[in-house]
Amino acid sequence: MKKLYIETVGCQMNLLDSELVVAALRKEGYELTGSTDEADTVLFNTCSVRQHAEDKIYSALGRLKDAKRAMPDKVIGVMGCMAQKDQRLIFRRAPYVDIVVGPGQLHQVPQLVREARSKPGGQRLEVSLGRTDGKADAIKRSHESFDPLRDPTMRPTPFQAYVRIQIGCDKFCTYCIVPSVRGPEQSRPPSQVLAEARQLAGEGCKEVVLLGQTVNSWRHTEDGRAWRFSDLLYALHEVDGIERIKFVTSYPKDMTDDVLRAVRDLPKACKYLHVPAQHGSDEQLRRMKRGYTIADYREMHDRAKRWMPDVAITSDFIVGFSGETEGDFQQTMDLVRECRFKNSFIFKYSERPGTKAADRLPDDVPDEVKRRRNNELLALQNQISEEDNQRFLGARVGVLVEGPSKAAVKAGRVGGEGPLQLTGRTMCDRIVVFEGNPRQIGQTLPVAVYDANAHTLFGEVVTEHAGPELFQLAGSA
Ligand code: SAH
Ligand code: SF4
Ligand code: F3S
């Protein structure tokens, strides 16, 4: 058996891409290893969204230099967004890398690895066309994603699966590299998405997570019928076996009434919306070219909460973007206080070469100020997340069990028969940890919550009729 080491950074798109590449290489007789020393092939699936994500990969590559000298037929490959962005620069910085493959060429990985193994020495580069490197159709085609038939054994759990419904992005927020590395926005046809969901359900998958950079902007005309995103949700709801439908990431402007209505009315739709605001100041949103104002965001947020009082809304924020004053930053703090997000991902602005912001807007907030603002916002969000989770004390929630908890994995208590700490999620995407046993993985169980911190609910499986002390939070089960 040949051994594959794969390391993935970045967003869910990359997790899905890695899953598909691993599946393809398993067919070629590979098995996974956790050690780069042992591996015949080492692959990095990379992200360019922030400098830090790139630095991490370049240092990991640096550590492989000696290993490659000792074992010259070890194949080293760099895939994903940084491969598309840096291309031959990767060979210059790490000359022992054998293959560089963009996100649109991942179907070629097995062949490229095979070639690298049989004819060592040559460097192979396969990437998509740049946004201005040809006719629109050719550019689009070159970015088409890799969505082959699925193999349930390749997923962390066979009960959950990502389903890509949209690739690329055309929003061009000024700070963001994604439109240039993932190419033009393209929606996958509903017939393909539905066929994939049916196949997944047939293999025992219970939860699908629809993926797109602005997933709720998905639309597609097929056989003369114009589909909106909400139509796709209704159609997916009909797929037998699928119990939960989630989608990330939503774009605030496209959170239209029909989408909210579908989430509210469809029992299988998770009451969870990831709708990044990015900032609390209109001036910053304008510089970011996000295409909405704080008043627009607030209106969307209030509408969602009015229609679904228990919906969980989460956000992303950038601190220290070009020109951000203390007053601007305080407006982000105010927005977080007002919206009380379930949680937020907070990022220090990282200038990305080739973006509009890098060309036109100075990266003028000092790093220590970025760091301080990051910590302040994080502390506020954590306090809100904890208070929000405390509401669940004493409540009974429905948990789709995903597998052993992180603590159980760390303690090496996986694979046996006995009791085990398990983790899963509620319909509103809250993480729940409880004692259970391996055969409960994949089931949806009632769990009574007895403790909560900012990130996790702790509970016990309810095995008998729930007593009066257990009440149910509306929409949370
Ligand atoms: N399509 C999604 C986000 C994709 S990138 C959306 O529009 O919401 C994930 C997150 O990374 C973004 O939401 C943003 O908060 C952050 N991000 C993107 N570019 C960044 C940059 N240059 N510096 C810091 N954070 C960035
Ligand atoms: Fe980047 Fe904006 Fe597209 Fe999100 S919507 S991927 S932040 S350009
Ligand atoms: Fe990173 Fe590419 Fe995703 S840049 S955030 S891995 S689309």
Q: Are 341 and 196 within one domain?
A: yes
Nearest ligand 3 atom to alpha carbon 10: 6
Q: Do 340 and 227 share a domain, yes or no?
A: yes
Pocket lining: 169 vs ligand 2, CB cutoff 6 Å = yes
**Are 32 and 57 in a shared domain?**
yes
- Is 428 found in the same domain as 300? no
**Within a domain: residue 322?**
yes
Predicted confidence (pLDDT) per residue in 84-142, tens digit: 999 999 999 999 999 999 999 999 999 999 999 998 778 999 999 999 999 999 999 99
Tell me the pairing of strands 99-101 and 75-80: parallel
Same domain flag for 268 and 378: yes
Tokens 């969204």 correspond to what residue? 49
Give the residue among 356, 386, 27 at the shortest CA–CA distance from 174.
356
Residues 268 and 313 both lie in one domain: yes
Closest ligand relative to 288 C-alpha? 2
Tokens of 11: 């967003």
Residue-wise pLDDT tens digits, 335-352: 999 999 999 999 999 999
User: In terms of domains, do 267 and 326 share one?
Assistant: yes
Structural tokens at position 7: 């390391």
Q: Label residue 474 by pLDDT band (50, 70, 90).
A: very low
The residue-averaged pLDDT of 48-74 equals: 95
Identify whether the C-beta of residue 434 lies closer than 8 Å to the C-beta of residue 408. Answer: no
Give, as one character, the DSSP assignment of residue 278.
Answer: B
- Average pLDDT of the chain, as a whole number: 94
Residue to substitute in 17, 19, 48, 215 for testing ligand 3 pocket (most ligand atoms within 8 angstroms of CB): 48
Does any domain span residue 215? yes
Does residue 312 belong to any structural domain of this protein? yes
CA 161 / ligand 2 centre spacing (Å): 23
> Is residue 161 in some structural domain?
yes
Q: Are 288 and 161 members of one domain? A: yes
pLDDT at position 461 over 80: yes
- Among residues 349, 365, 389, which one ends one of the domains? 389
Residues 227 and 258 both lie in one domain? yes
The answer, yes or no, to whether residue 472 has pLDDT greater than 70, is no
Residue 477 lies in a domain: no
Q: pLDDT tens across 159-186, in order?
A: 999 999 999 999 999 999 999 999 999 9
Residue 56 has pLDDT above 80, yes or no: yes
Domain hosting 59: range is: 2-131
Which of these three, 389, 412, 441, is where a domain ends? 389
Does an H or E element contain 14, and which? helix 12-27
Q: How far is the CA of 339 from the centre of ligand 1 (A)?
A: 20
User: Is ligand 2 within 6 A of the CB of residue 178?
Assistant: yes
Buried b (16+ CB within 10 A) or exposed e, 315-342: bbbbbbbbebeeebbebbbebbeebebb
Best of 318, 350, 361, 371 for a ligand 1 pocket test (most atoms within 8 Å of beta carbon): 318
Indicate which CATH number applies to the domain containing 41.
Answer: 3.40.50.12160
Instruction: Check whether the bond before 221 is cis (ω within 30° of 0).
Output: no
Last residue of a domain, one of 366, 389, 412: 389
Atom 1 of ligand 2, nearest CA residue: 176
Look up residue 152 and give its DSSP letter: G
Return the closest-CA partner of residue 399 out of 462, 467, 447, 438.
447
CATH number at residue 264: 3.80.30.20
Ligand 3 geometric centre to CA of 167 (Å): 11
The reply to whether 63 falls in a domain is yes
- CATH code assigned at 414: 2.40.50.140
Give the closest residue (by CA) to ligand 1 atom 5. Answer: 49
Which residues are near ligand 1 (CB < 6 Å)?
49-50, 175-176, 178, 213-214, 249, 276, 278, 316, 318, 347, 349-350, 352
Nearest CA to ligand 3 atom 3: 11
Q: Which residue puts its alpha carbon closest to atom 4 of ligand 2?
A: 213
CA-to-CA dists, residue 15 to 41, 103, 181, 231, 261, angstroms: 18, 12, 16, 26, 30
Count up the domains in the chain and report the number.
3
Structure tokens at 253: 């402007």
User: Which atom of ligand 1 is the closest one to the Cα of 169?
Assistant: 1
Is the separation of the CB atoms in 255 and 300 below 8 Å? yes
Task: Answer yes or no: is pLDDT of 473 > 60.
Answer: no
Same domain, 99 and 185: no
- Whether 381 and 397 share a structural domain: no
- 278 occurs within a structural domain: yes
Q: Based on the fold, state whether residues 285 and 398 are members of the same structural domain.
A: no
In a domain, 419, yes or no: yes
**pLDDT at position 214 over 90:** yes
